[in-house]
Amino acid sequence: MCGPNSTLGENVYIASSEAHMGYRFVQCSRCGEIYAISISNETYMDSSCLDELSCATCRCRLAESLHDYPEQYLKKDGTIGLLDIYSIDIDDEHSVLRDFYQLL
Ligand SMILES: [Zn+2]
């Protein structure tokens, strides 16, 4: 799985409910890389297993750089934006298929 830093252009990905497939998303607040976390794996694994992982793109420690996504997202200017995902209509016209790194 791989993905470019497309959120740096402030394209924010929102998964449709059927596309969630039991995953939630987090983002590296330094470079904008997006990761998927299996909710069932997260439930049964100690979150300290993230401590040793570094970002695939910028190599920073993920334990210190992750935030929930897309409710929070990295903006072009390097600050964190807030998004009310329930205020957005998801339409097929702008839908894309994209792979993400999976952390857990
Ligand atoms: Zn990063």
> Has residue 56 been placed in a domain?
yes
What is the value of pTM for the model shown? 0.81
* Overall number of domains in the chain: 1
| Domain-embedded: residue 39 | yes
96 within domain boundaries: yes
Quote the CA–CA distance of 24 and 36 in Å, as a whole number.
6
The whole-number pLDDT of residue 18 equals: 63
Closest C-alpha among 34, 16, 85, 17 to residue 25:
34
Q: How far is the CA of 82 from the centre of ligand 1 (A)?
A: 19
Asked, for residue 59, whether it belongs to a domain, the answer is yes
In a domain, 62, yes or no: yes
* C-alpha separations of 5 from 13, 14, 44, 56 in Å: 12, 15, 30, 11
Going residue by residue through the chain (104 aa), what tens digit of pLDDT does each one get? Answer: 333 334 445 788 887 666 667 889 999 999 999 999 998 888 888 777 788 899 999 999 999 999 999 999 999 999 999 998 888 777 778 888 888 899 88
Q: Is residue 64 part of a domain?
A: yes
For residue 33, the CA-to-ligand 1 centroid distance in Å is: 6
Instruction: For residue 75, tell me if it sits in a domain.
Output: yes
CA distance 11 to 60: 22
Instruction: With respect to residue 1, please indicate whether it lies within any of the assigned structural domains.
Output: no
- Cα-to-centroid distance, 34 and ligand 1 (Å): 9
Beta bridge partners, 68, equal 26
71: containing domain: 6-102
